[in-house]
Amino acid sequence: MNITEFHAITDQLYNQIELYLDKFADEQDIDIDYETNGNVITISFPNHSKIIVNTQEPLFQIWLATAKQGYHFDYVNKQWICNRTDQSFDKIFTESVQEQAAL
């Protein structure tokens, strides 16, 4: 993967994150705020907890910080996979959003 491909893939992921958050907030009738600043998305919940997603360009990774723990994802077979748990970004991210929204 080169830097151009990495940016295209991460841009697509960031768009998916924003769509998911909008849909989740509407369905759950919860006020979730998110802000994208460069390569960082900060998601804030009404209970003051946060989730942070950012790209690590030199490593070609996505990092996810939740109230529970942090995760590092590598792009493998067209999926972001946690290099510690082998779970997909989508699974960990959606579970984390649901957990933090319920706190």
Please spell the DSSP secondary structure of the chain, one letter per residue.
Answer: --HHHHHHHHHHHHHHHHHHHHHHHHHHT---EEEEETTEEEEE-TTS-EEEEEEEGGGTEEEEE-SS-EEEEEEETTEEEETTT--BHHHHHHHHHHHHHH-
Q: Which domains does the chain have, with CATH numbers?
A: 3-102 (3.30.920.10)
pLDDT by 10s per residue, the chain, length 103? 899 999 999 999 999 999 999 999 998 888 899 999 999 999 999 999 999 999 999 999 999 999 999 999 999 999 999 999 999 999 999 999 999 998 7
- Tell me what pLDDT residue 28 has: 86
Quick one: pLDDT at residue 102? Answer: 87
